[in-house]
Amino acid sequence: MAKRDYYEVLGVSKSSSPEEIKKAYRKLAIQFHPDKNPDNPEAEEKFKEAAEAYEVLSNQEKRQRYDQFGHQGLGGNGGYSGGGMNMEDIFSQFGDIFGGGGFESFFGGGRGGRRTKKGTNLRVKLKLNLKEIANGVEKKIKVKRQIIADGVTFKTCPSCQGAGQIKKVVNTMLGQMVSASTCPTCGGNGQIVDKRPAEADLRGLILKEEVISINIPAGVADGMQLSMSGKGNETAGGIAGDLLIVIEEIEDEILQRDGNNVVFDLYVSFIDVALGSQIEVPTIDGKVKIKLDPGTQSGKILRLKGKGIRDINGYNRGDQLIHVNVWTPKQLSKEERQILEDLRDSENFKPDPGKSEKSFFDKMKEFF
């Protein structure tokens, strides 16, 4: 099933302020919270959908990418984030959306008062050439990440007895009130390391190199960031962080990218354009032959339909634009000079642009 638009999910417009987006999410979170809708899968899915939308629209960088590229701009397929959040992610990341106490205090501690800790994220740069960007590619990269060592065991935190919070009773003029804060011993996990192997650190973690396969969708752009959920550092008693993949586009020596179009500067001789010719030109998918009609003017732009870059939001592809440049030799032999001198006074060789000839500015408007 296709994802719904995040603005539609939260019931806000694209011009909504961060405060309006937060308010809309808060309203939906209250309405569909699992503690208010026990054993209601539909409500739980709407709760997750709202949290996923808020995760993107509350982050300025992600919101800008989403506005420009849609769901695919966030890596919405192939295992990246945006493919549906789990409940642990939601309560870990957005537990403070209601102010000081989080979801638990707002709904009377229905979820036991514990917040799941999340491991730190990892960030890597991935270099891609123009062909890989145009068609999409699967890459395997080596990543060093912290994981829980084999043989590590945990025990209930003695400070909070597994609750993840320390509660204090405070006497006020209105009577006794209970305040709760995250347990400093276990960090809110409710567990601490009991036994660990010698190679593990005090948190029970070791550094391990892993080979991770990444499916890069076609049409990504330089600087775009994709995310693989759960492929970051692990944490004792919690969930793993994410692996953030930053795209770095390798500049092609021949072809230039302009959005989803590809531009190629074709240099030809006066003879080629005067007599007409067939010329081989490079494209992303290999070389193709194009026909230059007799009388082709310098500056003409030819279009190869569908030879550009696939759109990240769909199945359409851009085009390849070929800019024809007539090359003027810088030096001539005596014989070549004489031939051209004989043609200098020919009426056929004198410039005579008609109204059908478009200016460079008109050509740019037409093609871009």
pLDDT at 102: 43
pLDDT at 108: 43
260 Cβ neighbours under 8 A, 6+ residues apart: 219, 308, 309, 310, 311, 316, 317, 318
| Domains observed in the chain | 6-76+87-95 (1.10.287.110), 116-146+205-250 (2.60.260.20), 153-195 (no CATH), 255-366 (2.60.260.20)
- Under DSSP, is residue 351 helix (H, G, I), strand (E, B) or coil? coil
DSSP states along 46-63 = HHHHHHHHHHHHTSHHHH
Residue with tokens 């549906």: 84
- What phi and psi values does residue 341 have, to the nearest 5 degrees? -60, -40
pLDDT at 177: 76
Report mean pLDDT in 10-residue bins for the chain, 368 residues.
84 91 89 78 87 89 84 55 52 51 44 64 94 92 93 89 82 71 81 88 90 92 90 85 93 93 94 92 94 92 93 84 93 90 84 64 56
pLDDT at 367: 52
Structure tokens that stand for 135 in this block: 């068609």
Q: Would you say 160 is a known binding-site residue?
A: yes
C-alpha distances (whole Å) from 87 to each of 48, 76, 216, 235, 328 are 7, 19, 26, 17, 67
Q: Would you say 157 is a known binding-site residue?
A: yes
Q: Would you say 337 is a known binding-site residue?
A: no
CA distance 172 to 156: 32
pLDDT at 48: 87
CB of 102 within 8 A of CB of 164? no
- Under DSSP, is residue 92 helix (H, G, I), strand (E, B) or coil? helix
CA distance 360 to 301: 10
pLDDT at 320: 95
174 Cβ neighbours under 8 A, 6+ residues apart: none
- What phi and psi values does residue 70 have, to the nearest 5 degrees? 75, -160
pLDDT at 357: 56
pLDDT at 85: 59
Q: Would you say 17 is a known binding-site residue?
A: no
